[in-house]
Amino acid sequence: MQTPKSILLHLDSSARTAQRIKLARELAQTFDAQVTAQPCALSALMLYPFAIEAAAEVVAVMQEVDKTARDRMYQVFMTHSAGSTRLHWAEREPDGPWAFSRRALYADLLILGQRDRDDPMDGELPGDFLPSVLVQSGRPALVLPYAGPIGPIGRNVLVAWKETRESARAVTAALPWLRTAASVHVVAYGEDAQASLQRLQDYLRMQGSQNTTLHPGGDEDGDVGNKLLSLAADLGSDLLVMGCYGHSRAREWVMGGATQSILQGMTLPVLMSH
């Protein structure tokens, strides 16, 4: 895979938006890429649809709330984009967060934030925003945790491997980092783990990634997500690469066990692909 040239950045009013902007700016410089920053917050009328039938004064108040939120996001964007000509603001579209998945179809890489239910601005986004973007867009996404510092990523990478199309897509998306990483660790679980890891190592060597260490992880016992986070901590990894598993059922997003565990408990940036 060539390095990403079109990056779509998720903006909202949460405390971690500044971290996402800073990382987007760094990646744009590293990859000679362009970043589109898209506000994703729900409008006040989406949050309180009954207000549509209220008095004009109430609707005006709702519109002022939206303008205040927009201006706050714009100020954070301008501050942390630091005048970079590679970062571009896009005004919020009428359908808010749902427009992000549509715009994502035209991006090489997404930068998203893990949901923090304790953040006062958590209600700005639909509860299923993150899984719906991951599954609907089919684009690789770099998801940042809501806690802890975010330093340079891609120096010490952990790849969670499984012989599936989702894992293969994630590895392909990660190649720009894997080729330059000081160390790459690859873990797989199950009976065929050693053989599949060897096949992946051969592939990575052909792609220019030479510093690969294999970790057969034993049986896949349903706790893979927590095992991955524990291994990442032990190795000091700054990036986890993995497939994203999930589907829609009865208007609800159902994510795979490991995917759900990672989305809820991630402690480092995760590059995911569905």
Q: Are 67 and 39 in contact (CB under 8 A)?
A: no
Distance CA(78)–CA(245), nearest Å, equals 35
- Work out the mean pLDDT of the chain and round it to a whole number: 89
Instruction: Give residue 245's pLDDT.
Output: 83
Tell me the whole-structure pTM to 2 decimals. Answer: 0.91
Q: Are 215 and 183 in contact (CB under 8 A)?
A: no
DSSP string, 213-235: EEEE-----S-HHHHHHHHHHHH
Token couple for 61: 């108040």
129-143 per-position pLDDT tens digit: 888 899 889 899 999
Under the banding of pLDDT at 50, 70 and 90, the label for residue 51 is low
Within the chain, what is the greatest distance between any pair of CA atoms?
Answer: 67
Instruction: Give residue 233's pLDDT.
Output: 96
Helix (H) or strand (E) holding 273: strand 270-273
Whose CA is closest to 267, among 235, 241, 239, 246?
239
pLDDT at 221 over 70: no
Angle 138-263-181 from CA coordinates, rounded to 5°: 75
Whose CA is closest to 185, among 224, 237, 230?
237
Token couple for 111: 């930068």
Q: What mean pLDDT do residues 223-235 have?
A: 94
Instruction: Give residue 257's pLDDT.
Output: 81
Share of the chain above pLDDT 70, in %: 92
Distance CA(244)–CA(29), nearest Å, equals 27
Instruction: Give residue 113's pLDDT.
Output: 94
Distance CA(122)–CA(54), nearest Å, equals 25
114-170 per-position pLDDT tens digit: 988 888 888 888 888 888 899 889 899 999 999 888 889 999 999 999 999 999 999
Angle 232-233-238 from CA coordinates, rounded to 5°: 60
Distance CA(150)–CA(143), nearest Å, equals 11
Instruction: Give residue 165's pLDDT.
Output: 94
180-209 per-position pLDDT tens digit: 999 999 999 988 899 999 999 999 999 999
Instruction: Give residue 253's pLDDT.
Output: 58
Under the banding of pLDDT at 50, 70 and 90, the label for residue 75 is very high
